[in-house]
Amino acid sequence: MKIIADDKIPFLNGVFENICEINYLPGAQITNEVLKDADALITRTRTKCNQNSLQGSCVKMIASATIGFDHIDTKYCEDNDIKWTNAPGCNAESVKQYIASVFGMLVIEKGWILKGKKIAVVGVGNVGSRIAKLSEALGMHVYKVDPPRARAEKDEQFYELKEIVGDMDIVTFHTPLNKEGDDKTYHLCNDELLSMMKETTLVINSSRGEVIDGNALKKALAEEQMAAAVLDVWEKEPEIDKELMNKVWLATPHIAGYSLDGKANGTMMSVQAISREFNLGLDDWEPNNIPLPKKNAIDIDCTFLSDEQVLANTFVQTYAIKEDDIRLRMKTNEFEKQRGNYPIRREFKAFEVNLHKGNDEQISLLKSVGFENVTRT
Ligand SMILES: NC(=O)C1=CN([C@@H]2O[C@H](COP(=O)(O)OP(=O)(O)OC[C@H]3O[C@@H](n4cnc5c(N)ncnc54)[C@H](O)[C@@H]3O)[C@@H](O)[C@H]2O)C=CC1
Ligand SMILES: O=C(O)C(=O)[C@H](O)COP(=O)(O)O
């Protein structure tokens, strides 16, 4: 048996070597020629898995170590008996941490008071439901927008995006990229939607670049139809629109899901899926010894801070989004390189937080958003 694997998937080296042949290649170099005699592919978003790459190959299974699967032509796979899997939820906590860092920056850099603000969470799946919970913990009013769930569920309250968007302080997108159909999300955020927003609204996109019409956003920002944008994902990335980047408040190179925890989960789910399919005896395999960041103990002096400021400061100390923003602006052409050499980032649960002169309410708020080790002195 032969596996082709993307060489940027961590924790994979050594896992299959004694069982079968495995070759590692950069995502963009995984071509039809390379896949010809491969039985399985372990991939990321950087390899288009479609007729071009798969026709005539021996590939029987594709496992993507990512949440999104818009890089896989699922119809082609289904029509050609190629099984495929993604890794649902693998890095959802990481995207939550990314959004938490945006919230932190709103409080620290822009002086926002989040309590009482209205936020539309568009797409309430693994990521969106975490963002909704995080926002509620910060006292925001959450408006959930998810037409597929709204149709399927009776007990949860969902809103129509166009009906509420004019009243929102924040609109954050967490949908898959659906290129067509009733639940199409391609350019879901377009001229029309942007023109309905208040001039103080912040738009965040950490889903897929094509969910927002970049030209429309550029125009809306230039004309101050809405206030600001945070973009992690971009149309045509890694060749991103620099004019747009210069207009957005925080710009990052598609790394919202890049915690090591999230990557480890993605690798684990892919290895186990391949193992189950080909009977390789790795059904329970999981990576161990996930490295910690240099500083995983956080000390916050709460003396003059509101509860919201305590949370904001804690969030940005676990992950400083500004550092990714600065790196991208300094070397925009290195978008893909920055993703490939991404620093160690760990999720909330890997940190020990001490609140100096903090209170029980702050401890319980931090625990409610995913911190496991919180003390006060
Ligand atoms: N920037 C990054 O690093 C990352 C980006 N992502 C992106 O985020 C997306 C969401 O991730 P998850 O929450 O884990 O996916 P999920 O599949 O758990 O949830 C997606 C939700 O969107 C809803 N939805 C579908 N069409 C919609 C529409 N037209 N309007 C509103 N809601 C709609 C679905 O019903 C579902 O509840 C992924 O598909 C991926 O593209 C995911 C992980 C990391
Ligand atoms: O999981 C997803 O979906 C993502 O967007 C990933 O964070 C992107 O991961 P890579 O393809 O860059 O590994």
Q: Which two tokens stand for residue 249?
A: 């408040």
pLDDT reported for residue 202: 98
pLDDT reported for residue 96: 98
Per-residue model confidence as pLDDT tens digits over 42-85: 999 999 999 999 999 999 999 999 999 999 999 999 999 999 99
Q: What are phi and psi of 140, to 5 degrees?
A: -85, 160
Of the residues 237, 308, 336, 347, only one is catalytic, namely: 237
- To the question of whether residue 332 is assigned a binding role by annotation, the answer is no
Which part of the chain has CATH 3.30.1370.170? 297-376
Which residues lie closer than 8 Å to 247 by C-beta, 6 or more apart? 217, 218, 221, 222, 229
Residue 254 falls in the annotated catalytic set: yes
3-class secondary-structure state, position 349: helix
CA distance 361 to 91: 28
CA distance 266 to 123: 21
Q: Residues lining ligand 1, judged by CB closer than 6 Å?
A: 67-68, 89, 91-92, 95, 122-128, 145-149, 174-178, 183, 185, 206-208, 232-233, 254, 256-257
As a dihedral over the C-alpha atoms of residue 175, residue 230, residue 320, residue 270, rounded to 10 degrees, the angle is 20
Task: Cite the beta strand spans of the chain per DSSP E.
Answer: 2-6, 21-25, 40-43, 61-64, 83-85, 118-122, 141-145, 170-173, 202-205, 228-231, 250-251, 297-301, 352-356, 373-376
One digit per residue, pLDDT tens: the chain, 377 residues?
999 999 999 999 999 999 999 999 999 899 999 999 999 999 999 999 999 999 999 999 999 999 999 999 999 999 999 999 999 999 999 999 999 999 999 999 999 999 999 999 999 999 999 999 999 999 999 999 999 999 999 888 999 999 999 999 999 999 999 999 999 999 999 999 999 999 999 999 999 999 999 999 999 999 999 999 999 999 999 999 999 999 999 999 999 999 999 999 999 999 999 999 999 999 999 999 899 988 899 999 999 999 999 999 999 999 999 999 999 999 999 999 999 999 999 999 999 999 999 999 999 999 999 999 999 99
Which part of the chain has CATH 3.40.50.720? 2-86, 117-251
- To the question of whether residue 172 is assigned a binding role by annotation, the answer is no
Which residues lie closer than 8 Å to 250 by C-beta, 6 or more apart? 102, 105, 230, 231, 321, 322, 325
Q: Does domain 297-376 have CATH number 3.30.1370.170?
A: yes
Which residues lie closer than 8 Å to 3 by C-beta, 6 or more apart? 16, 20, 21, 22, 23, 38, 39, 40, 41, 42, 274
Q: Any idea which fold 117-251 has?
A: Rossmann fold (3.40.50)
Residue 96 alpha carbon to ligand 1 centre in Å: 13
CA distance 279 to 20: 12
CA distance 48 to 314: 38
3-class secondary-structure state, position 145: strand
- Listing DSSP states for 164-219 in one string gives HGGG-SEEEE------SSTT--TT-B-HHHHHTS-TT-EEEE-S-GGGB-HHHHHH
Q: What is the pTM of this model?
A: 0.98
Residue 78 alpha carbon to ligand 2 centre in Å: 22
Give the ligand 2 atom nearest the CA of 255: 7
Q: Which two tokens stand for residue 313?
A: 């400061």
- To the question of whether residue 185 is assigned a binding role by annotation, the answer is no
pLDDT reported for residue 294: 84
Number of Cβ atoms within 10 Å of the Cβ of 278: 17
- To the question of whether residue 191 is assigned a binding role by annotation, the answer is no
Give the ligand 2 atom nearest the CA of 27: 11
pLDDT reported for residue 350: 96
CA distance 133 to 115: 13
Q: Any idea which fold 2-86 has?
A: Rossmann fold (3.40.50)
| DSSP percent split of the chain into helix, strand, coil, nearest 5 | 40, 15, 45
> 159, 177, 181, 156: which is closest to 168 by C-alpha?
159
Planar angle of CA 247, 180, 159, nearest 5 degrees: 70
Residue 69 alpha carbon to ligand 1 centre in Å: 10
CA distance 241 to 363: 42
